[in-house]
Amino acid sequence: MEAASVGAALVAARDAFPDLRRLLNDEEGRRRPHVNVFYNGVSEDEIEDPDSATTDRDEILIIQAISGG
């Protein structure tokens, strides 16, 4: 998927795969707490500028945390 930034890539993914929206975001549009996004191996929470430009070699991973007993 092509996008100018990490944020734009997530929006493009939600647009391309509508079922992804309810898995990534709650009813208020906020990211669900158990969803982790990594950009080139770095957690999105640690990225200084989420709007920085991406390249065709960048990798964005969306990982849903699993918990249980």
pLDDT the model gives residue 46: 86
d(CA 56, CA 69): 40
pLDDT the model gives residue 45: 81
51 or 8, which is more confident? 8
The model's pLDDT over 10-52, given as tens digits with 9 standing for 90+, comes to 889 989 998 888 888 889 988 888 889 899 999 888 887 778 7
Domain range summary for the chain, segments of one domain joined by +: 6-64
3-state secondary structure of 16: helix
Supply the DSSP symbol for 34: T
Mean pLDDT of 46-67: 85
